[in-house]
Amino acid sequence: MTNAKFPPGPTTNLLWDKEANIRKDLLGHFHRTVRRFPSISRAMIGPYHYVNISEPAYIEHVFTHPDIYVKGRDNKTLRFLLGNGLVTSEGEFWLKQRRLIQPLFHKQRLQSFVQKINESTVTMLKNWETKTGVVIDMHTEMTNVTLDIVSQTLMSTEVVGDFKKISEALVVVMEGMMKILRLPVWIPTPGNLKMQKNRALLFDTIQKIIEDRRKNKTEFNDLLTMLMEVEDADTRERMTDEQLRDEVITIFLAGHETTANALSYTFFLLAQHAEIKQRVVDEVKQVVGDNEMSFENLSKLEYTTMVIKESMRLYPPVWGITRDASREDVIGGYRIKKGDSIAMSPYAVHRLEKYWENPLKFDPERFSPERMKNIHRYAWFPFGGGQRFCIGNNFAMMEMQIVIALACTQFNFTLTENFKLELEPLVTLRPKHGVMMKLERS
């Protein structure tokens, strides 16, 4: 056992601390804590100790020592929704699944999905032509288009109606999971019963799609087919239906929910910065012109990519990441006790003056290669890090590039008068009351 001291931190139990107010203002709590205790702090929340880390070098240490820092208590809650998919699984099973799934997200595979993303986006924009001048909720629009994209690329077009049900059930489960004072899921409270009912709807719908696909002899070019056909190199085993279901739900959440949120925040920011939007339009016209968007074009949309990264700095869809210490360790000279939960908040770190000049300013240029040379790689970590870095990050970036490029060249966006963005930190960071704006043809 080390002689190092525990990190500094508040002496009260934060669960009952009115000033900390974590039940009603979790984001604000993280935001305040990383300023009051720069780099690292330790506090009690209920019966557990949480170590809050905001120093990029410490964050890197946690991500790059998966033998010490494992998925823990918070992961059990997430497993209720995602089963034993890539996000929640551990050890040898996780490694095996990661090796099976990784090739599905190689760039040559992703190229085949560009046309499907294009088609979904074009359909949305045609629909927007009937909505000019009226108030729309951009979050609803982005939820619908990413729903269409994930249903086309993951499971092909005939399941769009099912995916609408899945999306709505997902929100109910996520809201229930994020209640800080919540009885175990197996206790039949009204809230728990509602969660269980909606999770059953999720699982049953996806299970039925998998069963129908097994019976269908038609050839599909989608991720479900790839997941069903992929084999373990050593054993030649394929995934069971349960494994397929868990991976499909995981890809669905990552490919739909998080991307819809990121796009909503990007349009929210662009609506307030006409000059930045115009630069996106100019770049798209220069790179793509009158041609259809292609995979080759995407790598050339450098400024558009900087806009997305800057939006994800200010509003990272995955706003908090936790690990549990499986044994004693020392970080920055401070003792980490076995069983401590490590909390890292991209939302809080991305807004720290220490690492980002004028952090609340929307400034895509800060992601230019020259300026990024001076930024620690873990000062920006919306996709996590280490060996568990988000497997679908390239797919998500490609999806966002296409939607933003096509939408910006055809429409202007203005926020409705008196609109105020309110954030809701569930499993993902959602805009609580949507993003209300008006569309006009550009």
Please tell me the predicted confidence (pLDDT) of residue 400: 97
> Helices 91-101 and 241-252 meet at what angle, rounded to 10?
70
Residue 358 confidence (pLDDT): 96
pLDDT of residue 83: 83
| Distance, CA of 410 to CA of 430 (rounded, Å) | 26
Q: Please provide the CATH number assigned to the domain covering 26-441.
A: 1.10.630.10
Task: Give domain limits for the chain.
Answer: 26-441
Exposure string of 329-349, with b = 16+ CB inside 10 Å and e = fewer, is bebeebbbeeebbbbbbbbbb
In whole angstroms, give the CA distance from residue 81 to residue 111. Answer: 30
Kindly list the averaged pLDDT for each block of 10 residues, start to end, along the chain of length 442.
86 82 85 92 92 97 95 78 84 86 82 90 95 94 90 70 70 66 70 83 82 82 84 81 86 82 98 98 95 91 98 96 95 96 96 96 97 94 93 92 97 95 91 95 90
pTM over 0.95: no
Q: Please report how the helices 393-410 and 274-287 are oriented relative to each other, as an axis angle in degrees rounded to 10.
A: 100
Which residues make beta-bridge pairs with 330? 335
pLDDT score at 372: 93
Residue of 265, 372, 365 whose CA lies nearest to 306: 365
Distance set, CA 101 to CA 97, 150, 247, 331, 441 (Å): 6, 16, 9, 33, 41
What is the rounded distance in angstroms from the CA atom of residue 372 to the CA atom of residue 366? 7
DSSP class of residue 99 equals H
> What is the Cα–Cα distance from 363 to 360, expressed in whole angstroms?
9
Report the side by side order of strands in the sheet with 411-415.
135-137, 436-441, 411-415
